A and B are shown apart, each in its own frame.
Chain A
Amino acid sequence: MLITADGNHHTGEPMNTGVAVQSVVQIGDLIPRGTRMNVFQSIYWVFIALGTLVGVVVVGYMVYNAYRYREGGSHAEDGDDERPTLGEIPTGGGKGRKLFLSFGLSAVVVISLIVWTYGTLLYVESPVAAQESDQEELEIQVVGRQFSWEFVYPNGHSSFELVVPEDTRVRLVVTSDDVFHNFGIPSLRAKTDAIPGQTTETWFIADQPGEYQAHCYELCGAGHSGMNANVVVMQQSAYDEWYANTSGGGGNTSDTSGNASENGTRTTSEALTA
């Protein structure tokens, strides 16, 4: 089971050092996969649930003890035979066993959570094999500059609006022309640094046609707050039509919407809450 699952997903794809670890930790469907939204949602909610549980239990226990052993309470005399005195050499109290038990438990929880997400990290870092075979992927160059995003398509078409087809893996190769930015499309859970002189990659699959917003996530100067871009997800046929009408060799097409001032951040709320 474990081996077949692994084999199915990774035939022929050369992976880096992670491969050995992956075959150990990747217990079939336990590792979240799919679009970036799927991946994020499943991990995020597990963390939220466990985090809330741990927080409530630990803080609750703290408060319970603080109340139980309050001065004047019925248990306040419990430890009266061993109160510290001024000038004594500092030593520790007892109950080391309990301490290590709780510590061990917390370590197990934390480590297993992280190991679990590591499988997904490997998937996110190298998802090609996970994609369904009949789909081709789309690679788009993203260039950040103060204070706009430019998208360059394989045919050389360049635009200030990101237009992509639905259900296709879109690979973004991101860099910057000036300072350090960070390109992110929150609703599609794609994000990566835009660093001058370096390229980074991220990817996403949009499964809903519609309009989304991209933002800059690294302070980059006066216009940082408005460094947004429209992201339009189309059905495959509409996209094909749109793409056929783009001209290669640069030049911004008429549908570019420029930067912050025209674009406004107000429209993002719909996309974000969608």
Chain B
Amino acid sequence: MNTKLYAVIYVVLFVFATLQVAVEFAGLTYWTAFWLIMALSAIKAVLVAAYFQHLRYEPRAITYVVAIGVVAAIALTAAASYSITGT
């Protein structure tokens, strides 16, 4: 791993963070903006995890451990929120 790659990642993260706020003022509909912004957050998170936490270079099993946690949290959030919507 060289410093250059870390620096590139850092710049990309910086730009994406700025983009997120720009999306807010771009005049998109709320839910389009919502998913765009969340997608940007997700991409940033994956970049940090993959390179700064170098998950890319670790055994895949570690990624799975963290992924299980993420899936569990999303399942809780989604199912609980859905359960109180009137269907």
Q: Which residues of A contact B (CB under 8 A)?
A: 16-17, 198
Contact = CB atoms under 8 A, between A and B. Distances in A.
Contacts of B84: 198
Contacts of A198: 84
B32 interface: no
Interface of B: 84, 87
Contacts of B87: 16-17
Nearest to A17: B87
3 contacts: A16-B87, A17-B87, A198-B84
B3 to A, nearest CB: 49
Nearest to A16: B87
Contacts of A16: 87
Which 3 A-B pairs give the minimum distances between C-beta atoms?
Answer: A16-B87, A17-B87, A198-B84
A25 B41 CA distance: 45
Nearest to B87: A16
Contacts of A17: 87
A198 B87 CA distance: 15
A244 to B, nearest CB: 35
A175 to B, nearest CB: 14
A196 to B, nearest CB: 14
A16 B87 CA distance: 7
B35 to A, nearest CB: 25
Nearest to A198: B84
B82 to A, nearest CB: 13
A16 B84 CA distance: 15
B8 to A, nearest CB: 49
A198 B84 CA distance: 10
Nearest to B84: A198
A114 B68 CA distance: 30
A86 B84 CA distance: 56
B86 to A, nearest CB: 10
A126 B87 CA distance: 13
A199 to B, nearest CB: 11
A16 B86 CA distance: 11
A17 B87 CA distance: 9
A17 B84 CA distance: 16
A197 to B, nearest CB: 11
A222 B59 CA distance: 55
A78 B56 CA distance: 55
B39 to A, nearest CB: 30
A244 B87 CA distance: 37
A214 B10 CA distance: 64
A172 B67 CA distance: 44
B60 to A, nearest CB: 27
A122 to B, nearest CB: 14
A17 B82 CA distance: 15
Nearest to B86: A16
